[in-house]
């Protein structure tokens, strides 16, 4: 069981882990030991995640989100299978915790009169600079 916060816990049946051979450091060990972990979390079927958290998690996950609604994390940072497993679980917990935060609503504002005047003045100066770049007519 993976505890995210007071209200959200992920059950063991929602997570499947498979181990595969990792690239990177390890010498000949790389060819023999499956130390990389692929963690698959069935987020869409999870009864513990509220719907708004699921939608935010989908947006945060990006390409790691499958069409079936699963979140896939691959970790092959260390030579230790157990350490990679812990890193994957920590990343999953951090991602879900990030998805629980509701984004702040944007309050629409209007530019001040001074800001409008400064913008128009800058545009006028820039236009004058560009006007000076025009073709020079030869003097006869």
* Tens-level pLDDT at each residue, the chain (140 residues): 777 777 787 877 888 888 888 776 666 666 677 888 899 998 888 888 888 988 998 899 889 888 988 889 998 888 888 999 899 999 998 998 898 888 899 999 999 999 999 999 999 999 999 988 877 777 65
Q: Can you give the residue ranges of every domain in the chain?
A: 2-100
Helix (H, G, I), strand (E, B) or coil at 87: helix
Q: Report the sign of the C-alpha dihedral through residues 104, 107, 111, 114, in that order.
A: negative
pLDDT at 30: 67
Torsional class of 139: left (φ above 0), alpha (ψ -120 to 50), beta (otherwise):
beta
Give me the architecture of the 2-100 domain, per CATH.
2-Layer Sandwich (3.30)
What phi and psi values does residue 64 have, to the nearest 5 degrees?
Answer: -80, -5
Contact 60, 95 (CB under 8 A): yes
Two structure tokens written together for 46: 């999870």
pLDDT at 129: 92
How far apart CA 1 and CA 15 sit, in angstroms, is 9
pLDDT at 27: 65
pLDDT at 123: 97
| Tally of CB atoms within 10 A around 46 | 22
Contact 17, 39 (CB under 8 A): yes
pLDDT at 3: 78
pLDDT at 132: 87
């Amino acid at each position: 069981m993976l505890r995210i916060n007071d209200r959200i816990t992920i059950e063991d049946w929602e997570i499947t882990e498979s181990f595969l051979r990792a690239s990177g450091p390890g010498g000949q060990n790389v060819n023999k030991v499956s130390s990389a972990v692929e963690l698959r979390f069935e987020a869409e079927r999870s009864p513990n995640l509220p719907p708004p958290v699921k939608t935010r998690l989908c947006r945060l996950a990006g390409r790691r989100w499958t069409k079936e609604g699963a979140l896939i994390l691959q970790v092959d940072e260390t030579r230790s299978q157990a350490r990679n497993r812990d890193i994957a679980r920590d990343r999953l917990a951090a991602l879900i915790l990030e998805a629980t935060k509701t984004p702040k609503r944007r309050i629409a504002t209007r530019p001040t009169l001074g800001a409008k005047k400064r913008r128009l003045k800058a545009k006028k100066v820039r236009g004058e600079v560009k006007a000076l770049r025009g073709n020079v007519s030869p003097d006869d």
